[in-house]
């Protein structure tokens, strides 16, 4: 497994409310990757995103087995997100300055020739295969919902004044419904995880062209740089993982 992960505060924000997780190099850890984009309160977004990736990774690392079937993996991913959601809610109740904090979370677990995705919010997972980029997750956002209802076009969602309103997040409700997705994997597929600080600045094909033209480490740096050149109005986080 070859991967690279980068994050940047961008050109406008004063602090970075994104967080990410990649498996530690030392030790027999699951091939788990995550991006979270926090929001709300004094440092609340930063706290929420960091809590999300820590709680989910701790939960899965402690329970994962390569012998798990699809149902057990789905249950484990769902339970890990629910536990993180519960702890973020509790932290917000215990600290007034964090009231209203929440975070997106998009995670990918690699197992054999499959990937398993848990997803809440509008961070995204893409797959690049044979020079084609495909968005694997659907945004939990108001404009995405309007697009699915036929009331907006995809182009209109990019510039809509309410495009930053998300409809699901960890830490905002006790009841949460994460998306669970499963995809087959082929050799040299590249999975892209990113916060909306990247996708609000770059078109999908721009992301694909950068990733396909460079080694992953260089491509991740170039994606951050390109998003900043386009304005860098939000924190930017990207993870690139090549299946081997």
Q: What is the pLDDT of residues 29-82, one digit of tens each?
A: 999 999 999 998 668 999 999 999 999 999 999 999 999 999 999 999 999 999
Taking Cα atoms as reference points, which of 11, 6, 3 lies closest to residue 232? 11
pTM: 0.95
Q: What is the pLDDT of residues 211-238, one digit of tens each?
A: 998 999 999 999 999 999 999 999 999 9
In whole numbers, what is the pLDDT of the chain averaged over residues? 95
What kind and span of H or E run contains 67? none
CA 218 vs CA 36, 130, 148, 224, 233: distances in Å: 22, 20, 35, 10, 22
pLDDT for the residue 15: 94
Domain interval for residue 15: 2-242
Instruction: Report, as an integer, the average pLDDT of 12-21.
Output: 96
**Count of structural domains, the chain:** 1
* Cβ-based neighbour number of residue 113 at 10 Å: 11
**Of 32, 181, 189, 56, nearest in space to 108 by CA:** 32
Q: Quick check: 177 and 107 in contact, CB under 8 A?
A: no
The enclosing domain of 55 has a CATH number of: 3.60.40.10
Contact of 108 with 128, CB cutoff 8 Å: no
Provide the pLDDT confidence category of residue 163 given band limits of 50, 70 and 90. Answer: confident
């Amino acid at each position: 497994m070859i991967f690279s992960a980068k994050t940047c505060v961008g050109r406008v924000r004063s602090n970075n409310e994104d967080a990410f997780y990649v498996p530690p190099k030392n030790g027999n850890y699951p091939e788990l990757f995550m991006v979270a984009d926090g929001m709300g309160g004094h440092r609340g977004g930063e706290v929420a995103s960091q809590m999300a990736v820590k709680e989910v990774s701790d939960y899965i690392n402690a329970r994962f087995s390569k012998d798990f079937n699809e149902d057990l993996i789905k249950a484990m991913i769902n339970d890990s997100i629910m536990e993180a959601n519960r702890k973020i809610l509790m932290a917000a109740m215990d600290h007034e300055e964090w009231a209203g904090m929440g975070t997106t979370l998009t995670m990918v677990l690699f197992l054999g020739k499959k990937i398993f995705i848990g997803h809440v919010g509008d961070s995204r997972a893409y797959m690049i295969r044979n020079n084609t980029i495909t968005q694997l997750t659907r945004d939990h956002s108001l404009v995405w919902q309007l697009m699915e209802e036929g009331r907006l076009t995809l182009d209109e969602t990019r510039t809509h004044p309410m495009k930053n309103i998300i409809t699901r997040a960890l830490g905002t409700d006790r009841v949460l419904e994460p998306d669970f997705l499963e995809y087959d994997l082929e050799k040299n597929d590249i999975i892209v995880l990113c916060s909306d600080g990247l996708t609000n600045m770059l078109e999908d094909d721009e992301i694909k062209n950068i990733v396909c033209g460079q080694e992953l480490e260089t491509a991740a740096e170039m994606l951050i740089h390109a998003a900043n050149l386009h304005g860098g109005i939000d924190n930017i986080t990207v993870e690139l993982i090549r299946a081997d």
